[in-house]
């Protein structure tokens, strides 16, 4: 295995890596066929035993993680990256609890979504089935390895994990512990596989493995997500970029608006559901802005304001540049603008939002109705913080990511979003008439 983080130095190495990734995908496809017909009992017992094994073998995990952390330090990784990388007994217990939570969730596989008897007597039903082989490309934190494996397995899928090279030793031990339990349960050893992580090309081979990989989900920063979505030829789900707005309407209650703004922006600044933009209706700006700017100042937030916001002033206000409206800061920064109307706010969000979460604060029921109908995003909050867009908060128990695209799944993705469907038709020798009935849209239909 090459230890360089560069592209493979020779064509032969590239070819070898490609074959390695495709071979893993082929084995995953075989494993997926067995996992697809595993009962819930089997899958839940598997997850519980995985949780126990992680706790029991915590010293192995921590020993490997110590090496990753030391290597990270040596490579000059920033302290917050080191913190994300680090595993301790508490974090391992947290991963184990996550698996137990997933074990307790309903099995999505086999759920009958629709069903009817057709006029000709054919019995038709649409049932949930696993997706098959799920690829996850992620950065940083090794707990994603366990979370993603638990969710994909519970939904009956095989998983190909492509983590960060900085966590390689930790991820390798984690996957080997999970795999030991998989094998103990008589399930295929290839159900959970870690792909080579030292070469960006392994991502490319994974996301172009059409016919072997059914979906790829990138989890990480905007750059990673965009690269995966643009280069993938297997279906990909865009996740997690959140340029979220809080719009304070003319008829907002000011105290409510302040509480929601501060919670949306400053509760945790590094998460995708944090607000990055404040829009204030001009009719309430004089009353609202001074208090908002002052409270944001107390919370350590720098405001990148338009002309009117800068005029309202304050030690934490700087003039916004054109880029600010499109920036997901993930820091103690927020862009802020005064808008002349609700439609102007909607238009601003349409131009700059990332389709994650948009909030309105208003006591006007017409404004609430208009905003929630016209704003196109995974989640629209009326008089609530953007921070609520989260699988846990939405009662899903767990999530694999937050989709910001419109196909397949939008918003927090739980277990049902990790499945596909299948139509089953039961007949008695039914054949179709030769008339031109039907609406068949085949090439020559």
Which residues inside 276-335 make contact with a second copy, applying CB under 8 A? Answer: 330
Total binding residues toward a second copy, as defined by CB under 8 A:
106
Within positions 149 to 208, which residues make up the interface with a second copy, using CB under 8 A? none
In the complex, minimum distance from the CB of residue 393 to a second copy, in angstroms, rounded to a whole number: 5
In the complex, minimum distance from the CB of residue 27 to a second copy, in angstroms, rounded to a whole number: 14
Q: How many CB atoms lie within 10 A of CB 306?
A: 18
Choice between 315 and 395, CB closer to a second copy: 395
Choice between 315 and 429, CB closer to a second copy: 429
Among residues 52, 139, 180, 295, the one that binds a second copy under rule CB under 8 A: 139
Among residues 181, 272, 278, 279, the one that binds a second copy under rule CB under 8 A: 272
147 makes contact with a second copy (CB under 8 A): yes
Among residues 108, 163, 353, 391, the one that binds a second copy under rule CB under 8 A: 391
Binding range to a second copy, per CB under 8 A, among 39-47, 59-67, 126-134, 332-340 = 126-134
Choice between 56 and 114, CB closer to a second copy: 114
In the complex, minimum distance from the CB of residue 224 to a second copy, in angstroms, rounded to a whole number: 9
Provide CB contacts within 8 A for 128, sequence distance 6+. Answer: 108, 109, 110, 111, 113, 416, 419, 420, 421
Bridge partner list, 215? 134
DSSP string of 132-199?
SEEEEEE-S-THHHHHHHHHHHHTT-EEEEE--GGGHHHHHHHHHHHHHHHHHTT--GGGEEEPP-S-
CA–CA dist 257, 259 (Å, integer): 5
Residue 338's H or E segment, with its range, is strand 333-339
Among residues 55, 71, 124, 254, the one that binds a second copy under rule CB under 8 A: 124
Within positions 325 to 384, which residues make up the interface with a second copy, using CB under 8 A? 330, 350, 361, 368, 372-374, 376-384
Report the relative pairing of strands 275-281 and 244-248 from DSSP bridges: parallel
In the complex, minimum distance from the CB of residue 124 to a second copy, in angstroms, rounded to a whole number: 6
Provide CB contacts within 8 A for 3, sequence distance 6+. Answer: 198
443 makes contact with a second copy (CB under 8 A): yes
The answer to whether residues 103 and 129 touch, using CB atoms and an 8 Å cutoff, is no
């Amino acid at each position: 295995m090459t230890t360089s983080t560069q592209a493979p130095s020779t064509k032969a190495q590239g070819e070898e890596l490609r074959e390695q990734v495709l071979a893993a995908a082929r084995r995953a496809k075989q494993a997926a066929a067995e996992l697809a017909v595993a009962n819930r009992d089997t899958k839940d017992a598997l997850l519980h035993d995985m949780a126990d094994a992680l706790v029991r073998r915590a010293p192995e995990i921590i020993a490997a993680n110590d090496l990753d952390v030391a290597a990270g330090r040596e490579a000059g990784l920033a302290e917050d990256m080191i913190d994300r990388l680090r595993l301790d007994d508490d974090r391992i217990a947290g991963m184990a609890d996550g698996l137990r939570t997933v074990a307790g969730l309903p099995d999505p596989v086999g759920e009958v979504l629709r069903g009817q008897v057709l006029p000709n007597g054919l019995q038709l039903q649409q049932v949930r089935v696993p997706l098959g082989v799920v690829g996850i490309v992620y950065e940083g934190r090794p707990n994603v390895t366990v979370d993603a494996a638990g969710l994909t397995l519970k939904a009956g899928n095989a998983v190909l994990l492509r983590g960060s090279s900085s966590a390689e030793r930790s991820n390798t031990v984690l996957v080997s512990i999970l795999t030991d339990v998989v094998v103990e349960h008589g399930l295929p050893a290839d159900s959970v596989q870690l792909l080579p992580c030292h070469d960006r090309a392994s991502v490319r081979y994974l996301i172009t493995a059409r016919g072997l990989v059914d979906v790829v989900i990138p989890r990480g920063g905007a750059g990673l997500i965009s690269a995966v979505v643009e280069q993938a030829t297997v279906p990909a789900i865009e996740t997690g970029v959140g340029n979220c707005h809080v719009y304070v309407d003319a008829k907002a209650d000011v105290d409510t608006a302040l509480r929601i703004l501060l919670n949306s922006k400053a509760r945790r600044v590094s998460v995708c559901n944090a607000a990055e933009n404040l829009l204030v209706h001009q009719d309430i700006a004089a009353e609202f802005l001074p208090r908002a700017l002052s409270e944001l100042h107390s919370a350590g937030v720098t405001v990148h304001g338009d002309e009117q916001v800068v005029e309202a002033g304050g030690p934490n206000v700087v003039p916004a540049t054109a880029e600010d409206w499109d920036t997901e800061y993930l820091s103690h920064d927020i862009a802020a603008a005064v808008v002349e109307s609700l439609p102007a706010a909607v238009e601003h969000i349409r131009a700059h939002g990332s389709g994650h979460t948009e909030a309105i604060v208003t006591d006007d029921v017409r404004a609430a109705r208009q905003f929630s109908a016209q704003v196109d995003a995974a989640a629209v909050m009326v008089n609530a913080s953007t921070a609520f867009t989260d699988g846990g908060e939405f009662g899903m128990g767990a999530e694999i990511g937050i989709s910001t695209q419109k196909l397949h799944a939008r918003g927090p993705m739980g277990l049902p979003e990790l499945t596909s469907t299948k139509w089953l038709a039961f007949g008695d020798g039914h054949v179709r008439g030769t008339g031109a009935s039907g609406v068949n849209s085949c090439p020559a239909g």
